Amino acid sequence: MNLTRLLQSQGFGTRRECRGLVAAGRVGLAGREQEDPDAEVQPEGLIFSVDGEDWRYREKVYVMLHKPAGYECSQKPRHHPGVLGLLPPQLRRRGLQTVGRLDEDTTGLLLLTDDGQFLHRYTSPKQNIAKVYRATVRHPLTESQLSALRTGVVLHDGPDPVAAQAAVARNAHTLELTLTGGKYHQVKRMVAAAGNRVDALHREKMGAYALPADLAPGEWRYVEADTAS
């Protein structure tokens, strides 16, 4: 792969813009400034720099973001800032998509990727990807509410009961709920159907990924692809 194509694949601009980066002496390989935009490079494992900042070549990108409240997961947000604005422009240019969505007032773990197969696997209902939420509820939790969530509650958009994989009270007003579905506002609607109300919602886990304690709201990091079948 030539250097211009590599830079373009990593989100550093159009072909013309990437050639201009090299011509301006802003691209380095192994600590040495590059001058030939057509130089052939081996992309796998390559570390390159742009304006002194190191980047690793990634054929596909997998990002974990700690979503703050007040952000939309839409590609074209309407009422609040979009989560993609929390990422550097190089990643935004790669066409990352959110792996599922969180409501604008919901916080916590959000995955983004440009890998279509990964996106499909993690969002397909057939895959039963478990998602763990921490919900702060308005009224003290009761055993009857927890039992209803585990056995299934009926939502207005379907006749069949929808059940949580697990429902545990961490304390009187904190519910840990594990779901494998992805219905619209599912956690809030299930809790309401069980006789309570969600005042705050936070996603802690999704499939093989857990939100680390040292990732602050609005921060992101690269993760590796979950290849487990």
Round to whole Å and give the CA distance between 221 and 223: 6
- Per-residue pLDDT reduced to its tens digit, 178-198: 998 777 788 999 999 999 999
Residues 137 and 196 placed together within one structural domain of the fold:
yes
Active site residue 38: no
Taking all residues of the chain, what is their mean pLDDT, rounded to a whole number? 92
Residues 194 and 142 placed together within one structural domain of the fold:
yes
Inside any domain, residue 97 = yes
Inside any domain, residue 71 = yes
Residues 134 and 201 placed together within one structural domain of the fold:
yes
- Tell me, what amino acid is at 64? M
- Per-residue pLDDT reduced to its tens digit, 202-225: 999 999 999 999 999 999 999 999
Inside any domain, residue 229 = no
Alpha helices in the chain (DSSP H): 3-9, 15-23, 89-92, 116-123, 143-151, 186-193
Give the CATH number for residue 144: 3.30.70.1560
Q: Report how many helices (DSSP H) and strands (DSSP E) the chain contains, helices first.
A: 6, 13
Residues 216 and 196 placed together within one structural domain of the fold:
no
- Tell me, what amino acid is at 214? D
Inside any domain, residue 227 = no
Residues 69 and 41 placed together within one structural domain of the fold:
no
Enter the pTM of the model.
0.90
Residues 105 and 43 placed together within one structural domain of the fold:
no
Inside any domain, residue 23 = yes
Residues 151 and 49 placed together within one structural domain of the fold:
no
State the catalytic residue, choosing from 38, 103, 114, 157: 103
- Tell me, what amino acid is at 155? L
Flag whether pLDDT at 165 surpasses 80.
yes
Number of domains in the chain: 3
List the domain range (segments joined by +) for residue 214.
62-125+209-222
Q: For the chain, give the number of residues.
A: 229
